[in-house]
A = this chain, B = another copy of it.
Amino acid sequence: MIARKIPIQKKVLIENDRLAGVIRAELTERGIISLNLVSSPGSGKTSLLEKTIGALGTEINMAVIAGDVQTENDADRLKRAGGKIVWPVVTGGACHLDARMVGRVLDELNLNGLDILFIENVGNLVCPSNYDLGEDMKVILVSVTEGDDKPLKYPAMFRKSSVMIINKIDLRDYCEFDIERVKENALRINGGLRIFELSCRTGEGLDSWFDWLKKLSRNP
């Protein structure tokens, strides 16, 4: 038998995937839907969760794990928005959440009666794509102020996502951003993407997102 050397980084990912599997099994058994929100910094993950908590907070039992490199700003915003279960995770420099961080939070949380778990990842379009957190789906946000070639430039994250949200559509007339082109570019990489177009600022398009979450929480 030949002993094969596995590079450290690969070992880390294997262990991460194992843990993610444990998390997924636990959440599935409890009927909890989990969504991992990923995007560039500033695309509007926290704003979307603020609006979602505001609109659905009495109807759906939601928890949020709010990841950030530094500060608990996002978690504080979500608590102010009415979030009942909001758990900050400060990575202290790390560029992504990993399954261990999520697992640690879940050990502390009361999961009874929970419908949806949102995991707000670190704002980063590259590294979080490698780390399965045990979620049911990744939800990727892009905003119309960012450039419509993002799916082509950061394909891994779009490939691994189930949902794409195009945010800040209220600014579409002020940006050289072609919404049809970003959709086309994204679908070329991942034909199965469910797409929402909305503006957290004006509220336009949010209802479709809310309706989808409601359906999801009824039929996990």
A contact set with B: CB distance below 8 Å: 8, 40-42, 68-71, 73, 93-95, 122-127, 143, 145-147, 149-150, 152-156, 168, 170-171, 174-176, 201
Contact = CB atoms under 8 A, between A and B. Distances in A.
Contacts of A153: 41, 68-71, 73, 123
29 contacts: A8-B8, A41-B125, A41-B146, A41-B154, A42-B146, A42-B150, A68-B153, A69-B153, A69-B154, A69-B156, A70-B153, A71-B149, A71-B153, A73-B152, A73-B153, A93-B126, A94-B126, A95-B95, A95-B124, A122-B126, A124-B127, A126-B127, A145-B145, A145-B168, A145-B171, A171-B171, A171-B175, A174-B174, A176-B201
Contacts of A125: 41, 123-124
Complex copy number for this chain: 2
Contacts of A155: 69-70
A40 B126 contact: no
B95 A127 contact: yes
A152 to B, nearest CB: 5
A94 B73 CA distance: 28
From A126, A127, A171, name the one whose CB has the most chain B CB atoms within 10 angstroms: A126
Nearest to A149: B73
A80 to B, nearest CB: 14
Nearest to A146: B42
A145 B156 CA distance: 24
A150 B70 CA distance: 10
Contacts of A68: 153
B40 A123 contact: yes
A150 B155 CA distance: 24
A133 B8 CA distance: 24
Given A40-B41, A41-B154, A170-B174, 10 more contacts: A40-B40, A69-B153, A70-B154, A73-B149, A73-B152, A95-B126, A124-B126, A126-B127, A171-B174, A171-B175
